[in-house]
Amino acid sequence: MAIDETLTTEIEIPRVLPRGPHTLGRDVVEASQRTRLLEAMAEVVAAKGYGSASVADVIALAGVSRKTFYVHFRDKLDCFLAAYELGVEVIFAALRSAGADERDVIAITRARIREYLRVLASEPAFARTFLIEVNAAGPQARERRRDVHRRFAELAREMVAQLPGVAQAPPELHLAAVGATDELVSTWVLEGRTAELPELEDVLVHVQLSLLSPPFPR
């Protein structure tokens, strides 16, 4: 994933450091190294699976030394979780800005879903890491995934709460919609259909908007 585009520094961080002597500051060098390691982790895990991926694979792809890896991360899991978390923040930033000028719940929902699917379709390695391999990375990673699902549900709830005249759904329904979305998108990624994800827009809009329907009578 093009993670370096999201770094909020006042200086441009080169993705490939120049060979030989240079005048780059230590902060620039370390930021570039970290960015390359995070991107390499996503690529290696997507290609080999979390269990088969190794630190050696990551540093080879990133073009840094093993010593440099351990300057930034404690171990493979630490690097994986950092890549996962940064990717999550990229997605949330994209979702918050999508549909920002809209006031209609359908338009906002559609804009956010469209952007979510666009990001995943354009970054297949991250999509597989974000949706599939996080489940293979152990209990800590799975807990992070559950927390991300809760954040997605809260983002949807906040959006509905700000719209006048729109019925509020229980938080559990928002979380259920997140789970349904994750299941469907993950299935397409597993089937090798990541590039086709934008075709799910209408289905996912329907899933999300079903939260706004009146409750069934008892």
Average pLDDT in the chain: 84
Architecture of domain 88-212: Orthogonal Bundle (1.10)
- DSSP codes joined into one string, 88-103: HHHHHHHHHHTTTT--
pLDDT of residue 66: 96
Model confidence pLDDT, tens digit, residues 145-177: 999 999 999 998 888 777 666 667 788 888 999
Q: Quick one: what percent of the chain has pLDDT higher than 90?
A: 62
Give which of 170, 184, 180 is closest to 213, Cα–Cα. 170
Instruction: Report pLDDT digits (tens) over 114-143.
Output: 999 999 999 999 999 999 999 999 999 999
Q: Which amino acid appears at position 98 of this protein? A: A
Residue 104 pLDDT level (bands cut at 50, 70, 90)? confident
Confidence bin at 102 (pLDDT 50/70/90): confident
Domain residue spans of the chain:
3-76, 88-212
Which residues are within 8 A (CB) of 85 and not within 5 positions of it... i.e. 6 or more apart? 144
Q: What is the pLDDT of residue 179?
A: 94
**Alpha helix positions (H), 20-138:** 26-48, 55-62, 66-72, 76-97, 105-122, 124-131
HSE-up of residue 118 (Cα within 13 Å, Cβ side): 10
Measured CA to CA, the distance from residue 43 to residue 205 in angstroms comes to 30
pTM of the model: 0.81
Q: Give the pLDDT confidence of 175-203 residue by residue, as tens digits.
A: 999 999 999 999 999 999 999 999 999 99
8 Å CB contact between 79 and 58: yes
pLDDT band at residue 213, thresholds of 50, 70 and 90? low
The structure tokens listed for 72 are 């930034």
